[in-house]
Structures are given as C-alpha cells and as structure tokens.
Amino acid sequence: MEEQQNTESTATEQQKAAEEAIKAAQEAAAAKKAAREAKSDKVEGLWDCPYCGQKGIGGLTKHCPGCGHPQDNNTKFYLATEKKHLTEEQAENYGKGEDWDCPFCGSMNRYDATTCKNCGAPRDQAESTYFTRKQEESGTQPVTTAAPVSKGPNKKVLIAVGAALLALIAILLVIFLPRKSKSTVTAAQWQRVIYVDQLTNVQESDWTVPSGATVYDEQIEVSGYVQVLDHYEDVEVQRSREVIVGYDEVEPDYKDNGDGTFTEIENTPAPIYDTEYYTETEQQPVYRTDPVLATKYYYTIDRWIYERSVETSGNDTTPVWGEVSLASDEMESGREGVYVLTFSTEKGKTVSVQVPESLFTSYQIGDTASLTTSGGTVTAIDGVAVR
C-alpha cells in the first residue's frame, strides 16, 4: 500500500514538472515571437537598379528582382515616403557597419563579410566602402556660393544726384565763401554806461545767518517735507507667466547606416507655450508726508544795491566816460560800452557793424576799409575779426 502511494506521488511530481516545463517553453516562444514582431528603430531603405531601371527596391533585397543584378558600387540608398520598420529580430543584423565594395566585380557586401559574395575576392584588398564612395562622389571641397553681382544704381539717377550736389555746393560757396569789398566809414555811434551801487541795510531771512548780519527774530517753521513709511497694505497684483499647454510633434531624423537601412532618431517634441494670467496678494508700503521743522532767522544786513547809472553817447569815434561823484556809501559796480561803425560799400549798400573799442577808435568818418563778409555778415575789418 505504502509502495503504491509513493509511486503515485512520484508520478504527480513528474507531471507537474512537465507542465511547468511546457509553460516555460510556451512563454519563451511567445517572448521570442514578440521580439521578432516588435518594431525597432531601424527603417528599410530603397534603391534603384541602374541596369534594368526598376525603382524602389527594398534595401534588404540584395539583388534586383527584375534583372537579378546585385547591389554594387552604383547603389545609393534613400528613404521611402512610407517608412517600413524592421522588427527587433531583423534589426539585430543591421546598423552595425557599412557595406563594402568589391574592388574586382563591384558588388556590395555586408560589413562582416570577409570575402565577396559574388566573386569570392578577399575584403583586405577593398579600399572603397559605401560612405567613402558617397564622400568621393559628393566631393570634399566646401560649396562656395558666389556673392550676387550688384547691378548698381541707375546711371541717370547718379548723374542727376551729382548735378544737384554740385549746384548745392556752388550756392553754398557763393553764400559762405569769404569776400572782400572796399568800403567807406560814413557814420559812428557809441554809448557808455557806468553803474553805481549804494550800500543799503536790508531785511532778509534764511535757515542760516550770514556773516555781518544782525538777527532780530527767529521762528520754528517748516523747511521742507519728507516721505516716511507709515504702514503696509495688502494689494492684489496681476501677473503673467508662460506655461506649457502641449507639444508639437517633430518629425524624426534618419541616419543612413550604409547597409540598406536607416536608423530613426527621435527628436524632442517642441513645447507649446501660452500666457497664463493670475493674481497674487503682496504687501506694498504706504508712505505719509511729514513736515521738517527748523529754525528760520530774520535779520538785517548791509548789501550793495543798484542805485543809478551815468550814461554818455556820441556820433564820433572819440568816446568818453561820464563824470561820477560817489558818496561815502556808493561804489561803481561796472562799466559797459557799445560801439558801432557804419560803412557804405562800393555797390552802395549800407552796413552797420558793432566792433571792439580799440577798432572803433582807430577810424575816423571818411576813412576807407576792406570789409570781409561771409554769408551776408561782416566777419572782419581790414583783417581784424569782429565776430
């Protein structure tokens, strides 16, 4: 009885182990199938047969289905409009190296092939690969774009502009080019003034007392105002910020692997921003205006104040100052003189010129002088500048 039970227990364990083995095999097969069917980042390229003209042949198809000619050193891979992704299982054999060209028959061979699949020539004699051939065909010199040749402005326009400029220059030369003319002094006018101040005791006020003043009163007054922080208050402030509201899909890039496939390179989606407005409460300072008090002084002080002037004038070229009698509390505060010569030019034009005293007294009525004019203004008399 005991022997029968042991036999049944052993059979049950064996059946359980068999079931587990079958399940593991099924899971492994499913995983292998999923791996075969999973989409990779490898994309099959296309090529055109240069011999029979068939186009759009799959890059994994190494011989033209139309004429049987193999991929050779004339083959160029390109992307299809509708991309065909390789499965993960297929992708394991691609993207690991570029094809190489047989130096004898020109056929293309996988990166890991040691001999040509078409003629059997060893790879160690091959000098050209898919990418080196493409580089040689495109050239290594940078493309230089010639600068566009400017047609330049219209010649008629240039001539017209040049003529206008020459006319403007001629006008300016006529106006501003210094010209000399012989003239005669026909009149002279002069006026002289002597200013007299008197020492006067006056009342003033200020925040400080000047030297020599006598204070007769002082008061506490407002000398100004100052802004003082009083308190803070809550204020709602509208602000804005840029937030991401979505993403723009960006087409991937593709890298030619040189073996009939391309590797898809995903690009980071471009974020789409929008302006979001929100309010937040912040504390803002509130100021008050406080007066600044100071002592203001009221005082008397002696000041020189304008009292009178002594004037003289004449129509000759011998100006004189008036006589000034000063009291003990008076003084001269300044003297001024204005001197004008009037000329008659050779063309009969009358010109009056204010001149320095030294030049004024060097002429008499009836004297001749050379006037230099520029822009209609007398700038010099007998070479002496008057402006």
The better pLDDT of the pair 152, 214 is held by 214
pLDDT at residue 31 in the model: 59
pLDDT at residue 151 in the model: 47
Q: Which residues pair with 226 in a beta bridge?
A: 290
- As a whole number of angstroms, the distance between CA 56 and CA 81 comes to 11
pLDDT at residue 232 in the model: 96
Start-to-end CA span in the chain (Å): 146
Q: How confident is the model at residue 105 (pLDDT cuts 50, 70, 90)?
A: confident
pLDDT at residue 141 in the model: 40
The better pLDDT of the pair 208, 134 is held by 208
Q: Compute CA 128 distance to the chain's CA centroid, rounded to the nearest angstrom.
A: 49
- As a whole number of angstroms, the distance between CA 94 and CA 37 comes to 16
For the chain, give every domain's residue range: 1-33, 179-197+308-385, 198-260+273-298
pLDDT at residue 147 in the model: 34
Q: How confident is the model at residue 28 (pLDDT cuts 50, 70, 90)?
A: low
The better pLDDT of the pair 133, 264 is held by 264
pLDDT in tens, 230-251: 999 999 999 999 999 888 888 8
Say if residue 164's pLDDT is above 70: yes
- As a whole number of angstroms, the distance between CA 383 and CA 362 comes to 14
The alpha-carbon radius of gyration of the chain (Å, integer) is 54
- As a whole number of angstroms, the distance between CA 67 and CA 57 comes to 12
pLDDT in tens, 313-332: 999 999 999 999 999 999 99
Average pLDDT, the chain: 85
The better pLDDT of the pair 320, 9 is held by 320
Against a cut of 0.85, is the pTM above it? no
* Mean pLDDT (whole number) for 29-52: 76
Give, in order, the Cα–Cα distances in Å from 104 to each of 67, 131, 259.
21, 18, 20
Q: Which residues of 242-252 are buried (b: 16+ CB within 10 A; e: fewer)?
A: eeeeeeeeeee
Say if residue 2's pLDDT is above 60: no
Q: How confident is the model at residue 343 (pLDDT cuts 50, 70, 90)?
A: very high
Say if residue 172's pLDDT is above 90: no
pLDDT at residue 313 in the model: 96
Give, in order, the Cα–Cα distances in Å from 348 to each of 182, 183, 369, 378.
11, 9, 14, 16
Give which of 318, 329, 218, 232 is closest to 281, Cα–Cα.
232
